């Protein structure tokens, strides 16, 4: 039975992604206003757009010039659908070009924080300060608005930094209202949403109701197994499915030997306290490590682990059998960023998440993914609404392939033991400093190199460890955490002194983009 999409009952704003760095952030900001938003390909036919009946459409930014060869275009018919449209950066330029305005490279490109003057009579910029700061990132500029549009904002280098035609529901801004560097950006998006008349019904409660109904519709009278990892995603997915089908759900916790220190025991204890579903624990460290022996390519590692997960669930499915037969559905905590980063829609493949791009083609389960359209912070809100405990809801994200993608190169027991010990100390010290909730994700990485050191007046040739800690709202973008030097010194001192074989620690100060949060 095919899964129904629980979001279909919500008013929707579609984001046409023209290759923007911030397309996912646009969707997130719209959802912050309690309106469902989804990212679609820029070349989606206008007829298909009309069929989907969106409440509004947003044209994202992008890296191209509207005049460059092969640059994405927009069908002018889109602006005649009677649907409000907001163009952002490249999207504004496309709108201007398609409707008879003029775009040019004036030599006055703007990047970063820029002084902006807003017109008080604007629908899009109403009740905002006349003088404010916005975030710019452009070389081309709209130098003449299309006929019928009114210019409502400017900067010293961009005379047409915002324009609008409220009667047709068409709006454009050269700057990026979706980023936090534009202080009044969310007000811009809310004003646009007001023009769409979209109902603000995208809430944790409504998501739960829609998801439970969709799961019931998909599974029917069947049985399901859920791949429980101990993280918030799989826990919330399990809670939603349990609410939908009750005792016909069996949760399978696979201890694949790639977990953090004490994690298996924590998962079993927490699950026993807060779920009535049946739990099957499979000890499979030998099985996974045998398959990973000699493998150093990160994509291959992910696919091996994804395949072994499914094979393990297939082996455990008999435990979920009842009078109505074996489980034929597999529940996973797949999130919207997982889908996007695995090459969904217009996005390039950044990494094949084991539960998106790493599943075997011949598996016997039908997938149930109740969180597939949610961002991480939305999942946390759903978890709180479901009554899950704080220690589960606010647990830091942990990748499905576990420590295997935090070990660069081959995964061995020795390297797992080293990384697990170092990672435990990282967690302990950040909790001691009161930073666990402030930091989105923090962990140790073991690279495939050795480093010269001196310990006890003797030369060492040990393993370096890299500390990765980031702040984020949804994992689509992230910044490295500004951890106090004394805390960093304490972490490094303990790791080097307490974990034999490690003689150096480095701190990763790369943001996302250009890096990813995980190293592999």
- List active site positions: 89, 176, 178
> How many Cα atoms sit within 13 Å of 395 on the Cβ side?
22
Alpha-carbon distance 479 to 439, whole Å?
10
Dihedral angle, C-alpha 489, 491, 495, 496, nearest 10 °: 0
Could you give the 3-state DSSP secondary structure of residue 282?
A: strand
Dihedral sign from CA coordinates of 44, 50, 55, 57: positive
Q: Dig out the tokens for 30 from the structure.
A: 């719209």
Q: Do residues 155 and 110 touch, judged by C-beta distance below 8 A?
A: yes
HEC assignment per residue over 152-210: EEECCCCCCCEEEECCCCEEEECCCCCCCCCCCHHHHHHHHHHHHCCCCCCCHHHHHHH
Q: How far apart are CA 306 and CA 302, in angstroms?
A: 6
Contact 445, 405 (CB under 8 A): no
**Cis check: omega of the bond before 514, within 30 degrees of 0:** yes
Report whether 366 contacts 189 (CB < 8 A).
no
Q: CB-based burial of residue 290 (10 Å sphere; 0-12 exposed, 13-18 middle, 19+ buried)? A: exposed
| Per-residue CA distances from 339 to 4, 19, 94, 304, 492 (Å) | 17, 16, 27, 19, 35
Q: Rounded to an integer, what distance in angstroms lies between the CA atom of residue 204 and that of residue 339?
A: 21
Sign of the CA dihedral with 358 first, then 364, 370, and 372 last? positive
Smallest Cα–Cα separation from 374: which of 330, 332, 338? 338
């Amino acid at each position: 039975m095919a899964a129904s999409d629980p979001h279909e009952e919500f008013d929707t704003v579609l984001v046409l992604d023209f290759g923007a760095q911030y397309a996912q952030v646009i969707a997130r900001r719209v959802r912050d206003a309690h309106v469902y938003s989804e990212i679609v390909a820029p070349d989606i036919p206008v007829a298909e757009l009309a069929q989907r009946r969106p409440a509004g459409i947003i044209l994202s930014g992008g890296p191209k010039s509207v005049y460059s060869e092969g640059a994405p275009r927009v069908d002018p018919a889109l602006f005649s659908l009677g649907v409000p449209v907001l163009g952002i950066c490249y999207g504004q330029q496309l709108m201007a070009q398609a409707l008879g305005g003029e775009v040019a490279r004036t030599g006055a490109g703007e990047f970063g924080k820029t002084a902006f003057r807003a017109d008080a009579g604007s629908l899009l910029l109403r009740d905002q300060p006349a003088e404010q700061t916005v975030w710019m990132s452009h070389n081309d500029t709209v130098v003449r608005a299309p006929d019928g549009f009114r210019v409502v904002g400017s900067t010293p280098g961009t005379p047409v930094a915002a324009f609008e035609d409220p009667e047709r529901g068409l709006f454009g801004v050269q700057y990026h209202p979706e980023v936090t560097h534009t202080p009044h950006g969310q007000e811009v998006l809310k004003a646009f949403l007001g023009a769409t008349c979209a109902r603000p019904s995208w809430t944790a409660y409504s998501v739960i109701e829609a998801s439970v109904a969709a799961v019931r519709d998909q599974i029917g009278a069947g049985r399901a197994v859920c791949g429980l990892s101990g993280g918030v995603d799989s826990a919330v997915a399990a809670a939603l499915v349990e609410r939908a089908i009750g005792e016909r759900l069996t949760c399978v916790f696979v201890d694949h030997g790639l977990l953090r220190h004490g994690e298996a025991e924590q998962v079993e204890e927490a699950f026993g306290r807060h779920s009535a579903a049946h739990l099957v624990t499979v000890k499979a460290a030998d099985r996974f490590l045998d398959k990973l022996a000699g493998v150093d390519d990160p994509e291959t590692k992910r696919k091996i682990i994804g395949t072994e997960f499914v094979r393990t669930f297939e082996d455990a499915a008999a435990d979920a059998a009842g009078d109505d037969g074996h489980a034929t559905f597999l529940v996973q905590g797949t999130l919207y960023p997982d889908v996007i980063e695995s090459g969904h829609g217009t996005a390039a493949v950044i990494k094949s998440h084991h539960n998106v791009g790493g599943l075997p083609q011949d598996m016997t389960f039908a997938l149930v993914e109740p969180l597939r359209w949610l961002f991480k912070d939305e999942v946390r809100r759903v978890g709180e609404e479901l009554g899950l405990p704080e220690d589960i809801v606010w647990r830091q994200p942990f990748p499905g392939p576990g420590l295997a993608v935090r070990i660069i190169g081959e995964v061995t027991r020795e390297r797992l033991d080293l990384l697990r010990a170092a990672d435990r100390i990282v967690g302990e010290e950040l909790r001691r400093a009161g930073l666990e909730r402030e930091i989105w994700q923090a962990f140790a990485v073991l690279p495939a190199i050795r480093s010269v050191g001196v310990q006890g007046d003797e030369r060492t040739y040990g393993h370096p460890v890299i500390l990765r800690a980031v702040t984020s709202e949804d994992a689509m973008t992230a910044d490295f955490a500004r951890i106090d030097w004394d805390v960093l010194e304490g972490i490094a001192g303990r790791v080097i002194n307490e974990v034999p074989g490690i003689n150096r620690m480095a701190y990763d100060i790369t943001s996302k983009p250009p890096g990813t949060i995980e190293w592999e």
